Amino acid sequence: MSKKDKIVYQIYPKSYQDSNHDGWGDIQGVISRLDYLKELGINYIWFNPMIVSPQRDNGYDVADYRNFDPRYGTMEDFEELASEAKKRGIDIMFDMVFNHTSTEHEWFKRALAGEEKYKNYYIWKKGKAPGVPPNNWQSKFAGSAWEYVEKFDEWYLHLFDVTQADLNWENPEVRKECADIVNFWRSKGVHGFRFDVINLISKSGYDDDPNEYDGRQFYTDGPREHEFLKELNRNSFGQDEDHLTVGEMSSTTIANCVGYAGEDSNELDMVFSFHHLKVDYKNQMKWELQDPDIMALKRLLTQWQLGMQEKNAWNALFWNCHDQPRSVSRFGNDKEYRKESAKMLAAAIHMLRGTPYIYQGEEIGMPNAYFTDIHEYVDVESTNIYDVLLKEGKSEEEVLHILQERSRDNARTPMQWDDTENAGFSDVTPWLRTAGSYKEVNVKDTLKDPDSIFRFYQELIRMRKEMPVVQEGLFRPLLEDHEKVFAYERKYGDESLICINNFFGEETEAELPLEGYEILLSNYKDAVLADRIVLRPYETIIAYKK
């Protein structure tokens, strides 16, 4: 089965559709919207975790891998979802969180009770001295990556929240448990799996970090990583020829990813990497703002395209997800040129070599939330950093502006279905406030507009499904030194496709050899081709020649 014609749509279930009047999205809500997703044309729905969790980290702190959190629904609801999706030609992709479990998980509770079998499921070390952790590693959520348990006079490792204890993948029983969990969900009709921070499961030792003091060099892309992934593939999803898998790779390298997602590596089908989503971080600091560095963006996208292509490995393509602000607000212009810039960003990413991921609301051009009060934010990262930045001396106005640009809640506001109260997401107050843009930006109005962002996405999806040059074509960068335009060619046999994208809100000129090409798609009705082309604000042109 070719996987190169597939498109994945990500749903953050809490915010998609509430069906039972509690302000919280659920499985039945998704079922009620499947016809919309069929109309869009996607092949897979990837769901953020809906299984039992204390929700310290939005479900990425798993307390039970085999049961749904009742707020989302029941196993019967899910089986209905899988069946109804399949009728519409849509498969399901589930999030597998295998680097750690919640400390509420039965395994960890039994470890704390002193059961040696389960204690060995986790990573325990003696401190360097009384009250001193085993090393100087820092948690990704701030503070030490170790927590002391007096009963054992030992510390357990948690690379994330203190309630997310790292699993010990050196233990074959842990690896078997993880394969069994994948197989359980396969038995429920799940063919797709996204593996959360999966390149952190192999640790290379527990020395002090002499450089960065966070330890990542000891736990990222570790020595047994490829071995563990091959084994997981062999013992679970690899037995299903229709599987689709993606690994979220933290702080990774192309050199490692060509192994994780190589055509014949028997590990994963593709990888997420995040380097291109840091080009607006001033000094690489998330909470320091600057305009996106488009030259850096071009360079990073090109490096990953060429590096993965050279070794016949596969990229996951995306601008948006539940952890990133909205791309139309970030790399486009969500005020004067919302439609134009949203379409340009879509074309720029969808015509690349890889599998495109669409995040809920992206296909209608949902912008950032632009909350004006800290009490409107729910995300723990946002509320924590608000206090930190105020203590650093920033004014409240400055801090709120930073959150308007950077907060993860920008992506998590309820899906905007119509212009009624709460945007048609729920008939009661939602868990997170609806963004103010829903009166102008919503599905109901979008579907009436033949020139909508949604219709543009439909065309991009149709092209990927129908055109071998989009599925298989080699990537070649064009206009690499142009400071405003990201352009590239895809070549397959005697077919050539050129994608030209102006990343700015003003006109710019570009020279390209376009003789013999025809326009397949553009975000301006009257686009023309010439060897010297004048691109209007955020103009995108997809040209084709055979």
State the DSSP string of 101-165: EETTSHHHHHHHTT-HHHHTTB-EE--SBTTB-SS--B-TTSSBSEEEETTTTEEEE-SS-TTEE
Contact in structure between 246 and 268 (CB atoms under 8 Å): yes
Judge whether 5 counts as a catalytic residue: no
Which residues are registered as beta bridge partners of 485? 502
The one catalytic residue among 221, 248, 269, 362: 248
Distances (CA, A) of 187 to 66, 83, 191: 11, 13, 9
Classify residue 141 as exposed, middle or buried by CB count within 10 Å of its CB (0-12, 13-18, 19+).
middle
Q: Minimal CA–CA distance to 278: which of 261, 299, 255? A: 299
d(CA 343, CA 454) in angstroms, rounded, equals: 9
Pairing mode of beta strands 91-96, 192-195: parallel
Q: Apex CA 200: angle with CA 219 and CA 185, to 5°?
A: 160
Classify residue 131 as exposed, middle or buried by CB count within 10 Å of its CB (0-12, 13-18, 19+).
exposed
Judge whether 39 counts as a catalytic residue: no
Alpha-carbon dihedral angle through residues 90, 95, 96, 101, given to the nearest 10 degrees: -150
DSSP conformational letter for 450 = T
Assigned token pair, 143: 């503070």
Quickly list H helices, 216-293.
Answer: 216-219, 225-235, 254-260
The one catalytic residue among 69, 196, 231, 379: 196
Where in the sequence numbering do the catalytic residues fall? 196, 248
